Structure 1
């Protein structure tokens, strides 16, 4: 039996949950001839890795630091990915073309919609890295008012304002020292590394709105735990990871990704860590 291959690439990649999610999807869909692996690949090694892939490859998932580095290697990039200059999904067509897309943005929207979060009048973003630009792109579709970004440097502030102009979002930037103010927003998206928002946990308001914390390990974060204790709605990084992977499975296999099976597999894997 010939195998159809897919994989996740990045550096570091050892702790990626993508193989768990995609393999669970293949099992649920009865795709016994599909395999999904992980490869440690940095920016310098990416061109040779991609060039060496054969016709048995269906697609790639990309994590940091490859989401921008892969773009010059592709034949076409979706409008969604182009908007944030970040590709996390590559699909290889039968005629050999390499097509890039970004499933993080619709993944954010799907995770919010699952919790009943549709349009919001305003929002706050904690952080200004790559995930923050995807958050702004998602907010461009659901936020009717201003987005306030809490950042640590003038350079980051300028970048977020530029992303806002590019994506059609009204962005106001505030110094990180005032990040506790963000927690009063109806929707707060935390895009910072582990531990960065722990000090904000005591400041969660009694009438907490919705927190979307993109981390999933460790989980819950101190901020997410405090938010839940206040009765607010919490959307976690596993929600994003699963929803974006569901979309990837759909693009690579041509069949809808099985959300419940993939989430259950991710929850089991995290519980075992």
Structure 2
């Protein structure tokens, strides 16, 4: 393991925490999902447009799909991920680090769906979804999709989700989630759209995106690639599987 790898998630043995996800299951049943107890959201973000018609080779849609596949859009100041890049996307386990000031929460998700289709109205859609595992702060599912509208050439990033705080959270964590979790959640989706647009624009200008290889923990990679590794992270409060 590299020196950076030892510190990528502070004091946490990130590799072991990721391996432990294999024994965890999805922490909710879809039959439970209904408002108002659950937040049900759709967040849309415009990306650089293309000419009308199917996606252009190396165009906005293809560049955005590549970035979404590798979780490069995630804002590292809010959420970072650790995963095996050699594992198939479908079924991939990801250890997420949710960062809230000096408290870092480590929770697992699993990719349970890959979307790759042309819909009846001609929209070309690619993306994937993950669902929360036992011990996660939340319960729910997020689907990230890149959509090309062939009639207009419009390209957009769409994040659809349903979620709620895990009922098994401790009292202090639950109260903190009620006070700050939703606000952080909405800021996360806003920043995802901002980053994906900026990175897609940079790629279309011919810039190398990401600009550098991601930090690694053995065979695992950290996403996004611009995650900065600091020894100060070792001073944060680490909570693994708080839910």
Shared fold (TM-score, shorter chain, > 0.5)? no
Which protein has the bigger helix share? 1
User: Given the two structures, how large is their TM-score scaled by the length of structure 1?
Assistant: 0.28
Instruction: Select the structure with the greater relative contact order (CA < 8 A; seq sep ≥ 6).
Output: 2
Which protein has the bigger strand share? 2
User: Given the two structures, how large is their TM-score scaled by the length of structure 2?
Assistant: 0.30
